[in-house]
Amino acid sequence: MLEVNGLTKYYGDLCAVNDVGFRIDEGEFVTLLGPSGCGKTTLLHMIAGLREPTEGEVTLRSENVTNLPPEERNIGMAFQSTALFPHMTVRENIAYGLRMHGYDEEERHARVQEFLELVDLPNHDDHRPGELSGGQQQRVSLARALAYEPDILLLDEPLTGLDRVLREEMRQWLMTLQRELGVTSLYVTHDQEDALSMSDKVVVLDDGEIQQVDHPQAIYEQPVNDFVAEFVGKSMQFSGPIRNDGPRPFVDAGDTCVVLPNDSVSSDREEVSLYVRPEDVNIEAAQATADGGATTVAATEENAFPGTIEKVSNLGNRAEVTATLESGETALASTNRFPHLEVGDEVLVTFDSESVIVL
Amino acid sequence: MSVVVERSPVPSWLSDRITNRHLVAIGVGWVTFFFVFPVLFLVVESINFGDGHPLQAYQRAMGGVYLAAFVRSFLYGIVTTLVTLALAYALAYYLVFSSKRVRLLLTLVVVPLWIAYIIRYFGVLLFFSPTGPLAQSFGIETDLLFTTTAVIIGLANAYLPFAVLPIYNSLNAIHHETINASRTLGAGQLRTIYSVVLPLSMPGVVAAGVIVFILSAGSFLGPDILGGSGQSMIANEIARAFLEAFNIQLASALAVIYTILLIGFIAIFNAVFDLQEALGNL
C-alpha cells in the first residue's frame, strides 16, 4: 500500500531523517512514535509531498510518488492545529477537498452531509471553525481529510492539543472510525499511550533512524534496544556484567544480583541493561523478624530486595509506588488501588526472573 | 484573615486621581482641539457673509478646474492604491514565504520613511530627467516626466512601505499548516494562494488600501513635483487658492468638500469591508 525506502533528509549538514524504510498494508493503522525532534514530522511531510527528500523514495499503491507534489498524491491529512480554513464554514471546509478531487455540486452536498454525520456533527455545517470546540474542530478536520476517499490518511499529532479525558474519548472514536472506513492510516505521535492503544503496528523513531518496527505488545514487552525500553513505558533498571557461574545466569549489578530468565543466552561478563516493567514488580511491607531485622527474608528468595518507600502516587484505579533499594537503585511498581504503604515504610521488592528484559 | 489586594502597576496616589476617562480625554482633547475645531473654523471661513450668495464659494468649487481636480484626486488615488497593493503584496508574500533575510529586507522597506517625501520625489524626478541615469547610461528617453504615469510612479513609490507592513503582518499570521492542508486536499500552489492565502490576508490588504488611498488622494508634493499643469490634484488647488490667490473662502470650501467626500468614501468602504476588523488586526 505505502512503501518508504531509504528515505533521507538533510537540512544543510544536519541529518533529520536517515535511511528510513517501512511499509504499511491496506487497512492497517501504523503509528510513527518518537520524541519531539526525532524527525517524525519531517518524515510525514516527505510522505505527504510537503517536503522533498534528499534521498530515497515513496511508493503509494505501487506508484512512485517521490517527486509528485502533495496535490497529486490522493492523500488525506489531519494536523495538530486542525488547519481548518478559518474563513470558510464547516461545509465549505469539507467541500474544498471534494471540489479539488472533481466531485460535482450534488455529490459534494451529499458527501458533506454523510461525513458530518459520520463525525457526529450533522447540524454544524454552517458554523465557522472558530465557533467549535477543540474536539469538534479535530473531527471536522478528519471529515475533511476523509471525504474524498484518499488512499491513505496521514495524522500529524491530531490529539496533542486536547485534554486527557477528551483525548481518550477521541482515541476510541478515531479507532472505530478507522476500522469502519477501513482506511489505511499513518499516525504520528510522541505519546506512547496513543501508539500502544490504537495501532496495528508501531514504528519507533529516534534521531532520524528507525529503532524498532513491531506490534504494540512486542514493543512494550520485547524492546530491542535501550532507547525503546526507556521511551516506551516506565521501568525499573539495572545494569552490569552477565555471570554464568551460578545455577542460573545472573547479573552482578554492584551491590545486588539479579537472576535472569532461563533462556537468556549471553556470553559471560557481557555488560547488559535490565528492565522490569512496574506491572511485574511487587512491593509489600517487610515482615519484621524476631530480632528486629527486616531484611532476613530477602536473602532467601531470588530477585527480592529490601528497600524504603520514597513516593506513593495514587492514580485511582491503581497506584504507582517508588522505593529506593538498599543497593541504591530505584524501584517502580504498579500496585492495586490505594496500597497500605506510606513514605518511609520498610518494604520488600520482588519480581519474577522471567519478567526481566535483558538488553 | 488577610485580604489580598490586587496590585496595579500604577502607584495608588496616581491611580486614585487619574481614571480611564482622564486618559481618553487627553487623546480626544487633542483631536478636538487640533482637528475638529480647525475644520469647523474652515466651515465658517467658507461661508460668504457679505454680498452675494452665502454658499457662492461652494458653487465655484464644484465646477471647472476644481471639479476636474476632485475627480483626478480620486482617480489617481484609486490607481495608485491598486498599483501599490499589487507591488506590496508581491513583496510581502516574498518576505513571508521565501526570504531568509526577513529582518534586513523589512528594514530596507522602512528606511525610505526616514527620508523626507520632497527628497524622494526629487529623486524620482532626477531619475527620469534627460540628465538622469536612465537617459545618460542606458540612452533611454522615457518622456515620463510631468505625466500622469510619473505622478502614479512617484506616489506608489512613496507609499509602498505603508502597504507592505499591514500585508506582511496578515500574511505572517497565516498558520503554515493551513497552506499545507490546502495542498494535501488537492489544491495546487496557485489555487491555494487564491482560495486560502488571499482571503486570509484580506484584512491586511484592506487596511493597506485605506491608508494608501487616503494618503495618495490627498497628496500635494507628488503631483507638484512630478506632474505638470494637467496633473493638478485637489491638494494643489487648495494650496493655490490659499497661497497664490489668497482666496481663503474658496480654499476653505474646497477643503470642506474634500473632507466630506473622504469621510463618505470611508463610510462606504466600511460598509463593504469591516474596517474595525482590518485595522484592529494591524
Asked if A145 has any chain B CB less than 8 Å from its own CB, the reply is yes
Q: Is the pLDDT score of A297 beyond 50? A: no
Report all structural domains of chain B as residue ranges with CATH numbers, in order of start: 47-280 (1.10.3720.10)
Domain end residue (candidates: A209, A229, A249): A229
Could you say which residues from 67 to 86 on chain A have a Cβ atom under 8 Å away from some Cβ of chain B?
Answer: 69-71, 73-77, 79-81, 83-86
Cell numbers found for residue B40: 469647523
pLDDT digits 0-9 by tens, A220-262: 999 999 999 999 988 888 888 888 777 778 888 777 788 888 7
- Claim to verify: residue A246 and residue A176 sit in the same structural domain: no
* Chain B residues closer than 8 Å to A71 by CB: 183-188
- Claim to verify: residue A60 and residue A118 sit in the same structural domain: yes
Q: Do A71 and B199 touch (CB under 8 A)?
A: no
- Claim to verify: residue A222 and residue A300 sit in the same structural domain: no
Residue B226: which residues within 8 A CB-CB, separation 6 or more? B121, B124, B125, B145, B146, B150, B151, B153, B154
Give the chain A residue whose CA is nearest to the CA of B177. Answer: A83
pLDDT digits 0-9 by tens, B84-130: 999 999 999 999 998 888 889 999 999 999 999 999 999 999 988 88
Mean pLDDT for all residues in chain A: 88
Q: Do A50 and B178 touch (CB under 8 A)?
A: no
pLDDT digits 0-9 by tens, A61-78: 999 999 999 999 999 999
pLDDT digits 0-9 by tens, A127-141: 999 999 988 999 999
CB atoms within 10 A of CB A325: 18
Written as tens digits, the pLDDT of chain B (282 aa) is 455 556 667 777 877 788 888 888 999 999 999 999 999 999 999 998 888 888 999 999 998 899 999 999 999 999 999 999 999 999 999 999 988 888 899 999 999 999 999 999 999 999 888 888 888 888 777 788 899 999 999 999 999 999 999 999 999 999 999 999 999 999 999 999 999 999 999 999 999 999 999 999 999 999 999 998 889 999 999 999 999 999 999 999 999 999 999 999 888 888 887 766 666 554
Nearest chain A Cα distance for residue B179, angstroms: 8
- Claim to verify: residue A238 and residue A200 sit in the same structural domain: no
Contact A248, A358 (CB under 8 A): no
Q: What is the mean pLDDT of residues A109-113?
A: 94
**The domain that contains A248 carries what CATH number?**
2.40.50.140
Alpha helices (H) along A223-343: 226-231, 296-300
DSSP for A129-153, please give it: GGGS-HHHHHHHHHHHHHTT--SEE
Q: Is the pLDDT score of A200 beyond 50? A: yes
Of B178, B180, B200, the CB nearest to A50: B180
Of B178, B186, B199, the CB nearest to A83: B178
Write down the pLDDT at residue A270: 78
Q: What is the rounded distance in angstroms from the CA atom of residue A284 to the CA atom of residue A152?
A: 50
Write down the pLDDT at residue A292: 46
- Claim to verify: residue A214 and residue A238 sit in the same structural domain: no
Asked if B173 has any chain A CB less than 8 Å from its own CB, the reply is no
Q: Is the pLDDT score of A343 beyond 70? A: yes
Residue B260: which residues within 8 A CB-CB, separation 6 or more? none
- Claim to verify: residue A206 and residue A116 sit in the same structural domain: yes
Of B177, B186, B199, the CB nearest to A83: B177
- Claim to verify: residue A290 and residue A325 sit in the same structural domain: yes
Asked if A266 has any chain B CB less than 8 Å from its own CB, the reply is no
Cell numbers found for residue B158: 512613496
CA distances for B195 relative to A56, A81, B171, B275, angstroms: 33, 19, 14, 21
Of A49, A50, A96, the CB nearest to B185: A96
- Claim to verify: residue A85 and residue A224 sit in the same structural domain: yes
Nearest chain A Cα distance for residue B191, angstroms: 9
Q: Do A77 and B199 touch (CB under 8 A)?
A: no
Write down the pLDDT at residue B277: 66
CB atoms within 10 A of CB B27: 9
Q: Do A96 and B182 touch (CB under 8 A)?
A: yes
Q: Give A296's pLDDT tier (boundaries 50, 70, 90).
A: very low
CA distances for A192 relative to A151, A163, A203, B241, B248, angstroms: 26, 16, 11, 79, 80
Of A75, A79, A87, the CB nearest to B177: A79
pLDDT digits 0-9 by tens, A202-216: 999 999 999 999 999
Q: In what helix (H) or strand (E) does residue A271 lie, and over which residues does it extend?
A: strand A271-276
Give the chain B residue whose CA is nearest to the CA of A156. Answer: B177
Lowest mean pLDDT, pick from A18-27, A296-305, B93-102? A296-305
Return the axis-axis angle of helices B248-272 and B234-243, rounded to nearest 10°: 160
Question: Hey, of B97, B175, B176, B185, which one would you mutate to test binding to chain A, going by the most A CBs within 10 A of its CB?
Answer: B185
- Claim to verify: residue A201 and residue A261 sit in the same structural domain: no
Asked if B17 has any chain A CB less than 8 Å from its own CB, the reply is no
Could you say which residues from 88 to 107 on chain A have a Cβ atom under 8 Å away from some Cβ of chain B?
Answer: 96-97, 100-101
* Chain B residues closer than 8 Å to A85 by CB: 178, 181-182, 196, 200
Domain end residue (candidates: A184, A199, A229): A229
Q: Do A83 and B187 touch (CB under 8 A)?
A: no
Asked if A49 has any chain B CB less than 8 Å from its own CB, the reply is yes
Q: Do B183 and A100 touch (CB under 8 A)?
A: no
Q: What is the mean pLDDT of residues A165-177?
A: 90
More confident residue, A327 or A16: A16
* Chain B residues closer than 8 Å to A112 by CB: none
- Residue A354: give the domain boundaries: 234-358
Nearest chain B Cα distance for residue A149, angstroms: 11
Q: Do A100 and B185 touch (CB under 8 A)?
A: yes
What is the percent of chain A where pLDDT is above 90?
52
Number of domains in chain A: 2
- Claim to verify: residue A187 and residue A247 sit in the same structural domain: no
Q: What is the rounded distance in angstroms from the CA atom of residue A229 to the CA atom of residue A245?
A: 27
Q: What is the rounded distance in angstroms from the CA atom of residue B29 to the CA atom of residue B270?
A: 25
Q: Do A96 and B187 touch (CB under 8 A)?
A: yes
Write down the pLDDT at residue B173: 93
- Claim to verify: residue A124 and residue A242 sit in the same structural domain: no
**The domain that contains A197 carries what CATH number?**
3.40.50.300
Q: Do A77 and B182 touch (CB under 8 A)?
A: no
Q: Give A299's pLDDT tier (boundaries 50, 70, 90).
A: very low
Write down the pLDDT at residue A137: 93
Write down the pLDDT at residue A52: 92
Q: Is the pLDDT score of A266 beyond 70? A: no
Q: Do B185 and A144 touch (CB under 8 A)?
A: yes
Q: Do A86 and B200 touch (CB under 8 A)?
A: yes
- Claim to verify: residue A300 and residue A354 sit in the same structural domain: yes
Write down the pLDDT at residue B241: 93
Q: Give A350's pLDDT tier (boundaries 50, 70, 90).
A: confident
Q: Which strands sit side by side in the sheet containing A184-189, from one edge to the other? A: A75-78, A152-156, A184-189, A29-33, A201-206, A209-214
Domain end residue (candidates: A229, A245, A274): A229
